[in-house]
Structure 1
Amino acid sequence: MSVTLRSDRAVLRFSGRDAQKLLNDVVTGHVVAEPGPARWWALLSAQGKIQAEGLVGWDGDAFWLDVHETVADSFLKRMRLYKLRAEVTMEDLRASHRVGWSAEPPQAGIVHADSRAGGIGYRVIDTIENAAGWEADTTPYLAARIAAGVPEQGADFAADSTFAHDIGMDLLGGIDFDKGCYVGQEVVSRMKHRGTARRRPVIVAAPAAEAGMPVLVGEREAGTVGAVADGKAVGIVRLDRIVDPAGVTVAGAPASLVLPAWATYAFGESVANE
């Protein structure tokens, strides 16, 4: 079976007695030191905007994380500030390891199921030498992620531009609502309890679309299109601006919008507290 190289992801390894506590105290997700699927998480600013996001899985007495390469340095810098005197070793493995994806569980590497949206294959981490034969074409992974309606930093949105609710983290296990405080927790909790999430992910079908193009309702922008594969993309849109999902355009041509299978929201929804 083939593994797709995800060259835009950076590998980080957190180990030590206090690694789990540090991660749980800082990021949104539920971090557990036990075998199982990789869990989604985000590091937020105090204003609740996503600064980094990725998956974390446990293997060999350590937590293995991946983040978009553009935020790896800033993520590590912030985590070192939060570390204080905690017994945690943070390793930047960009020089020695790579991240891959496979539709089926591969036989080699550090493998974790990606359980978002009911399952998006498997995340694989291995050494550069072992990853030399991985496929360079990322279309299979991108198509699987788009079909599931799951946005991703770098491809679909930039750092410090997006709330966790905007990308469905509250509905896909990326936020632990039962644990104590973490950075940005107050904003996340307020959006949940007041129902003030304005933007949500949708699947956009627009053959001429390119990443970053606006989704228009008439002449009014309702959102933007993320990375495109086979004429489809994940778009993050204002639900209240889309009364008729068949009436939108992208790149000057009609486009169709479909809610992800996991969505509990609907087109045309208005925010509870404007």
Structure 2
Amino acid sequence: MTLQISPLPHRALIKVFGPDWASFLKGLCTAPIDSIVEQVTTGDFHKLHYGAFLRPQGKMICDALLHAVSADEIWLDVPLSERDELLAKLNMYKLRAKVVITALDHPVFVAFGGDLPEGFLLDSRASIIDDNFGFAYTPQTATATPDAWRAFRYTHTLGDPGEDFNKDELYAIDANLDLLGAIDFHKGCYVGQELTSRMKRRGQIKNRILGFSYTGAAPEKGAEVLNADKRAGEVLAAADGYGLALMRIDRRDGDLTAGDAAIRLNISAWIAPHLPDISPDA
């Protein structure tokens, strides 16, 4: 695959500026903030860290890519559709924290399928999925459309909140954020932490986003995935022969259909080791 660069008009930026940005975000975002701080102390500002903002009940408001710009400034790359709500939420929680939170008017570009050009920041998920990709927040020359990036995501089982599913629809673990290094299970409390930690600790993980391919017409968003006569999941998004579904992991094997389409799960190598064996009684 050759390098491709695509604009992402559905993504937007928030700037958090001030000496308290790390302690402030640590209680609000799932991301490993301490790792970002360690990165900053070494003068490394070239890596993005993945995370999410949750409701108190654990459902996702949105995902976020965190880019430390300096020792006192960090940018949040979030879905444009959720930026205003998140901006208001962050300002509500600010209280006495020494931070200023504002929207930024910068473009978002993604590069994938090859070595990253100058100006692009490596995404922390790249090493997990074993394929290179990163983002830039300055104008770039596009060589591909967002559809090409969507195809890359679907074949690598990377969901995009705001594009593939809505806020308040999924738990962070449903979206595989625990497997993508986006949840720090060792830090103290953050909004939504209690249920997220309990799901992981007790092994109460019933559903995960899995990629699939299909034949025939694309199944519609929300279409029920059936394994014989049993409900096995729900289609989140599908296009150009590939898609993502929220699947019951105990019903992932068998002849699967969604609407009039026959579907075949594509279990990514980075997910497969974390899926339990299937009970015959599932």
Query: Which interval holds the TM-score relative to the shorter structure?
Result: 0.7 to 0.9
CA 1:190–1:269 in structure 2 vs 1: closer, same or farther (change >3 Å)? farther
Q: Does 1:223 align with 2:233?
A: yes
Candidates 34, 38, 43, aligned match of 2:53: 43
State the alpha-carbon separation in 2 of the partners of residues 12 and 211 from structure 1: 32
In structure 1, the residue corresponding to 2:184 is in which secondary structure?
coil
- Cα distance in 2, alignment partners of residues 265 and 48 from structure 1: 22
SS state at 1:11 partner: strand
Q: Is the Cα–Cα contact under 8 Å of residues 120 and 144 in structure 1 kept in the other structure?
A: no
Quick check: 2:175–2:209 contact (8 Å CA) kept in 1?
yes
1:1-274 → structure 2 map (5 Å cutoff): 2-31=4-33, 32-33=36-37, 34=40, 35-61=45-71, 62-93=73-104, 96-103=105-112, 104-108=115-119, 111-116=120-125, 117-126=129-138, 130-131=139-140, 133-135=141-143, 137-207=145-215, 208-210=217-219, 212=221, 213-242=223-252, 244-245=253-254, 247-263=255-271, 264-266=274-276, 268=278
- 1:86 Cα deviation after fit: 0.6
TM-superposed CA distance for 1:120, in Å, is: 4.6
Q: Which amino acid aligns with 1:68?
A: P
Q: Residue by residue, what CA displacement relative to the aligned partner does 1:95-151 show, whole Å, maximum 9, x if unpaired?
A: x3111101232224xx3211313345011111xxx34x4356112211222222121
Q: Residue 130 of structure 2 aligns to which amino acid in structure 1?
A: G
Q: Which runs of 5+ in 1 are unaligned?
A: none
Over residues 161-209 of structure 1, what are the superposed CA-to-partner deviations in whole Å (9 max), with x where a residue is unaligned? 1111101111110100111110011101110111111111211101422
Which whole-Å CA distance do the structure 2 matches of 1:139 and 1:266 have between them?
32
Looking at structure 2, the residues matched to 107 and 5 of structure 1 have their Cα atoms a distance apart, in angstroms, of 16
**Which whole-Å CA distance do the structure 1 matches of 2:239 and 2:261 have between them?**
17
1:230 deviates by: 3.0
Q: State the 1:87 CA deviation.
A: 0.9
> Sequence identity of aligned pairs in percent?
32
SS at structure 2 position matched to 1:3: strand
Cα gap change, 1:193 to 1:100, in 2 (>3 Å)? same
1:101 partner letter: V
Q: Distance in 2 between matches of 1:269 and 1:89?
A: 52
Task: Please give the alpha-carbon distance, in whole angstroms, between the structure 1 residues aligned to 2:130 and 2:88.
Answer: 33
Measured in 2, the distance between the counterparts of 1:60 and 1:100 equals 21
Deviation at 1:60, TM superposition (A): 3.7
Cα deviation digits, residues 199-246 of structure 1 (max 9, x gap):
11211101422451332223443222233343111221111233x24x
Contact 2:219 2:260 in 1 (8 A): no
Q: Give the letter for the 1:168 counterpart.
A: N
CA RMSD of aligned residues (A): 2.0
Further displaced range: 210-219 or 190-199? 210-219
Normalising by structure 2, we get a TM-score of: 0.85
Letter in 2 for 1:239: I
Deviation per residue, 1:37-57 (Å, 9 max, x gap): 211111111110001112112
Superposition TM-score, scaled by structure 1 size: 0.87
Partners of 1:135 and 1:54 in 2: CA distance: 24
Instruction: Measure, in 2, the Cα distance between the counterparts of 1:19 and 1:254.
Output: 48
Change (3 A) 1:172 1:87: same
